[in-house]
Amino acid sequence: MPSPAIHRGEPVPPLISFDKVSKYYGRGEATIRALDQVDFAISAGEFVAIMGPSGSGKSTAMNIIGGLDVPSSGDYLFQGVPTSGFNRAQLTLLRRHMLGFVFQGFNLLARTSAVENVELPLVYRGMDPRERRRRALAALEQVGLGGRADHTTQELSGGQQQRVAIARAIVTDPAVLLADEPTGNLDTKTSNEIMDLITRLNRDNGITVIMVTHEEDIAAYGRRLLRFVDGHLVSDEHRAREMDHAV
């Protein structure tokens, strides 16, 4: 997607911003307010954790950021560009070119090799097979799985499968990595290894990370914490990372 034109001397807009974003489901007395007049802005290079109880609106906010849902009112801006006028094809382009997704359940193709899973977003782009294989192998190297490229997902541990999922998310060189409970299916040791990897991608590669989690120790990897309750953003805390592990 093209970025908005920025003229010399003009302030750079936030990478992501919510302007009085609300999301309602249902009508009348059955209306559920998943988000209610939410405002925040995230700059390029930040590592933001999002927390809140079930039904707080955190997943709805993540879905809107990811172009998987749209606000009922208000606006979501990406690089200063309002997305309210985007059609379905434009939202698809936003996801395909600017965003990378990592999910709790990995969402890998079974009985398919690691490298083929990582190649998939590049297939959708119509990239030359040799170039997409080169980039997929490079992404696997980056997450420490260069020696597992030809292994199927069924031959990999949970932590290795999540590394493949992260490689698939970064192979397109996205501006933003969206991680939805990325350690939810992993044990403590493996969770820390995955979070160290995500931290390194944010620190060394400059990828903006936005992560939903219900675990305080996982949220502590971020340098900023947004807390949602009943559809409202109730706190926005900037802090030093509590777990500065060596990677």
* 222 pLDDT more than 80: yes
Query: What pLDDT score does 68 carry?
Result: 93
Query: What pLDDT score does 247 carry?
Result: 42
- Cβ-proximal residues to 9 (8 Å cutoff; 6+ apart), any chain: none
* 6 pLDDT more than 60: no
Beta partners for residue 47, in sequence order: 209
May I ask the CATH architecture of the domain 16-238? 3-Layer(aba) Sandwich (3.40)
Residue 179 or residue 9, greater confidence: 179
Kindly list the domain boundaries of the chain, sorted by start residue. 16-238
Sheet holding 176-180, edge to edge: 99-103, 176-180, 208-212, 47-51, 224-229, 232-238
* 88 pLDDT more than 50: yes
